[in-house]
């Protein structure tokens, strides 16, 4: 797990760095105003549909593919995969038709403050970008197939292609003052990022078969797992839509872009660490759960939890401590003002805990999916959304835009606690005391280096440029954190280090 996770993290970091460049270019050329909010609104639906359905498909596809292969061999597994691709593309036609026809009402729901020419632009943007849905749906199945075959590199590399296309289209939009260049470039980015998937899958043994059977037993089994996951994932994304919609309605359309920039920074942590860990571990967790090796599956899940928290907690604390200088460095130029920096930095701090608890949820949910229990995570995630909606209404009146972020953080905390309780209740003891002890050690050291990072930044900023002040502060805090983790002897960290040493010694 350690070696694969590190490889995925490296590729994801490269991809996210391109993502930062993308957002910095966007901040410079289009700022945090109305055009950025329109763009965010238009890309929300295809992005949400892709993420929601992709998670549901991968969560259900991997264990059922293993089952089909075990019972009918590689050929039967290929038939199942081909059939699933055909079915999902038919659903894609239906979804595209609905979104294309009702683009207007959808944009108004996502951003109630839109009107006139701004609304027309958002509608046109949505209708163009939604055609990328077919590529997004197809790739979600092939991504699961590649993960099963041990290919994590190609799926992790797609973000690099995506960001390059959007960076180029953003620059051209700024030069020619034509917003449609941006949306067409985004459509091409969403589509062409998966250009290698068909060729790589074929090389690994996948043979496409023209088959369409809605009654296939394996498809039905996958839907039993996948549909609840899709519902729970949709509920999670709906909470984001609710946040954006309420932000637009209560605080103006430009507030949507400010929330987007804050989440972009925090999603860097989620993308680099949590997604890398879940991507690398889920195929093995699903295989253990499918074969009835529950103890091994639990150990692998808890190991994934602690391993991800080793990086998620300090990274989140550090980003919260240096929120203002980081946002200033990443975005503040040209159309992105000092006032925008202050607002985005404040929202980032409010959203911070959400990343930690959401990471826990994603890893624990995979354990339930591996034993074909998608009902439990769905119920808990729906409870989370109800809590989030109620608290949004209350806290937004007290804390303004930050209240929406506080609500999401608190609701996610409650959800993660309920999921931990359900995990232990359903699957039995999972070394709870050892796990809590490790998480407390990580949190204490992370809190200390958070203070060190802030104090060192305040010291260095008087003599060094902004970028060097942040870099030196982060490096200093990182070294101290590493020393602290080594001294505290956390088992998962020791395993990761030994895994890397073995890899190096083999070479």
| Lowest-pLDDT range of 38-52, 61-75, 81-95 | 38-52
Inform me whether the pLDDT recorded for 317 exceeds 60. Answer: yes
User: For position 472, what pLDDT does the model report?
Assistant: 93
User: For position 86, what pLDDT does the model report?
Assistant: 93
Mean pLDDT of 96-107: 92
Confidence tier at 129 by pLDDT (50, 70, 90):
very high
Q: What is the mean pLDDT of the chain?
A: 84
How many Cβ atoms sit within 10 Å of the Cβ of residue 94? 9
CA–CA distance, 114 with 252 (Å, rounded to integer): 9
Token pair for 256: 């949507």
Inform me whether the pLDDT recorded for 156 exceeds 90. Answer: no
The DSSP secondary-structure symbol of 336 reads: S
**Is the distance from CB of 296 to CB of 427 less than 8 angstroms?**
no
Number of H helices, E strands in the chain: 19, 0
User: For position 3, what pLDDT does the model report?
Assistant: 63
- Percent of the chain at pLDDT > 70 equals 91
| Lowest-pLDDT range of 219-223, 372-376, 416-420, 476-480 | 372-376
Inform me whether the pLDDT recorded for 2 exceeds 70. Answer: no
Inform me whether the pLDDT recorded for 50 exceeds 80. Answer: no
Confidence tier at 171 by pLDDT (50, 70, 90):
very high
What is the number of residues in the chain? 507
Confidence tier at 469 by pLDDT (50, 70, 90):
very high
Inform me whether the pLDDT recorded for 496 exceeds 70. Answer: no
CA–CA distance, 283 with 146 (Å, rounded to integer): 11
Mean pLDDT of 152-172: 91
The DSSP secondary-structure symbol of 333 reads: S
Confidence tier at 118 by pLDDT (50, 70, 90):
confident
Inform me whether the pLDDT recorded for 265 exceeds 70. Answer: yes
Classify the phi-psi angles of 211: left when phi > 0, otherwise alpha if psi is within -120 to 50, otherwise beta: beta
| Helix residue spans in 252-293 (DSSP H) | 254-269, 275-290
Mean pLDDT of 281-293: 76
**Is the distance from CB of 257 to CB of 33 less than 8 angstroms?**
yes
CA–CA distance, 287 with 304 (Å, rounded to integer): 15
Inform me whether the pLDDT recorded for 412 exceeds 80. Answer: yes
User: For position 322, what pLDDT does the model report?
Assistant: 92
| Helix residue spans in 400-465 (DSSP H) | 401-427, 432-460
Break the chain into its structural domains and give their ranges. 2-506
Q: What is the pLDDT of residues 336-363, one digit of tens each?
A: 788 888 988 999 999 889 889 988 888 8
User: For position 503, what pLDDT does the model report?
Assistant: 58
Inform me whether the pLDDT recorded for 243 exceeds 80. Answer: no
- Residue 233: which of 380, 134, 66, 62 has the closest Cα? 380
Confidence tier at 504 by pLDDT (50, 70, 90):
low
CA–CA distance, 478 with 458 (Å, rounded to integer): 17
Mean pLDDT of 446-469: 92
Inform me whether the pLDDT recorded for 303 exceeds 80. Answer: yes
User: For position 359, what pLDDT does the model report?
Assistant: 85
Mean pLDDT of 378-391: 86
- Residue 158: which of 255, 275, 305, 287 has the closest Cα? 275
Q: State the distance between the two ends of the chain, measured CA to CA, in whole angstroms.
A: 18
Inform me whether the pLDDT recorded for 1 exceeds 60. Answer: no
User: For position 360, what pLDDT does the model report?
Assistant: 87
The pTM of the full predicted model, rounded to 2 decimals, is 0.71
User: For position 120, what pLDDT does the model report?
Assistant: 92
**Is the distance from CB of 415 to CB of 357 less than 8 angstroms?**
yes
**What is the three-class DSSP state of 177?**
coil
412 vs 40, more confident: 412
User: For position 242, what pLDDT does the model report?
Assistant: 75
Inform me whether the pLDDT recorded for 445 exceeds 90. Answer: yes
- Buried-exposed string 373-385: b where 16+ CB fall within 10 A, e elsewhere: bbebbbebbeebb
Residue with tokens 């954190």: 481
- Residue 308: which of 264, 357, 352 has the closest Cα? 357
| Lowest-pLDDT range of 50-54, 74-78, 124-128, 320-324 | 50-54
CA–CA distance, 408 with 420 (Å, rounded to integer): 18
């Amino acid at each position: 797990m350690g070696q694969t996770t590190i490889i995925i993290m490296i590729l994801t970091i490269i991809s996210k760095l391109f993502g930062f460049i993308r957002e910095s270019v966007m901040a410079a050329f289009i700022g945090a105003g109305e055009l950025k909010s329109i763009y965010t609104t238009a890309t929300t639906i295809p992005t949400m549909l892709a993420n929601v359905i992709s998670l549901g498909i991968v969560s259900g596809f991997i264990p059922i593919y293993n089952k089909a292969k075990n019972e009918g061999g590689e050929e039967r597994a290929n038939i199942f995969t081909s059939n699933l691709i055909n079915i999902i593309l038919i659903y894609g036609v239906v979804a595209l038709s609905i979104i294309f026809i009702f683009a207007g009402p959808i944009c108004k729901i996502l951003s109630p403050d839109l009107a006139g020419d701004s609304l027309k632009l958002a509608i046109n943007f949505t209708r163009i970008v939604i055609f990328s849905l077919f590529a997004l749906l197809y790739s979600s199945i092939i991504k699961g197939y590649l993960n099963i075959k041990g290919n994590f590199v190609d799926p992790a590399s797609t973000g690099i292609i995506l960001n390059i296309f959007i960076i180029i289209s953003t620059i051209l939009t700024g030069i020619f003052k034509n917003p449609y260049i941006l949306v067409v470039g985004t459509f091409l980015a969403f589509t062409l990022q998966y250009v290698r998937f068909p060729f790589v899958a074929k090389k690994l043994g996948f043979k496409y078969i023209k088959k369409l059977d809605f009654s296939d037993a394996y498809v039905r089994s996958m839907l039993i797992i996948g549909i609840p996951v899709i519902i729970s994932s949709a509920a999670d994304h709906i909470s984001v839509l609710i946040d954006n919609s309420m932000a637009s309605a209560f605080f103006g359309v430009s507030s949507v872009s400010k929330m987007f920039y804050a989440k972009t920074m925090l999603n860097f942590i989620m993308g680099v660490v949590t997604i890398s860990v879940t991507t690398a571990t889920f195929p093995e967790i699903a295989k253990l759960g499918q074969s009835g090796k529950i103890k091994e599956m639990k150990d692998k899940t808890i190991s994934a939890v602690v391993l991800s928290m080793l990086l998620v907690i300090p990274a989140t604390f550090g980003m919260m401590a240096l929120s203002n200088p980081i946002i200033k460095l990443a975005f503040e130029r040209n159309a992105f003002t000092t006032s925008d920096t202050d607002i985005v930095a404040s929202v980032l701090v409010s959203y911070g805990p959400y990343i930690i608890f959401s990471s826990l949820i994603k890893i624990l949910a995979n354990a339930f999916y591996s034993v074909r229990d998608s009902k439990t995570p769905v119920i808990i995630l729906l409870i989370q959304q109800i809590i989030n909606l109620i608290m949004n209404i209350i806290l937004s009146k007290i804390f303004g835009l930050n209240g929406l972020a506080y609500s999401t953080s608190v609701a996610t905390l409650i959800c993660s606690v309920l999921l931990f309780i359900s995990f232990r209740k359903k699957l039995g003891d999972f070394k709870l005391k050892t796990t809590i002890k490790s998480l407390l050690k990580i949190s204490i050291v992370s809190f200390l280096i958070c203070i060190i990072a802030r104090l060192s930044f305040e010291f260095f900023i008087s003599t060094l440029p902004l970028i060097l002040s942040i870099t030196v502060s982060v490096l200093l805090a990182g070294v101290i954190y590493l020393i602290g983790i080594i001294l505290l002897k956390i088992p998962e960290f020791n395993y990761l280090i030994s895994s890397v040493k073995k890899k190096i010694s083999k070479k």
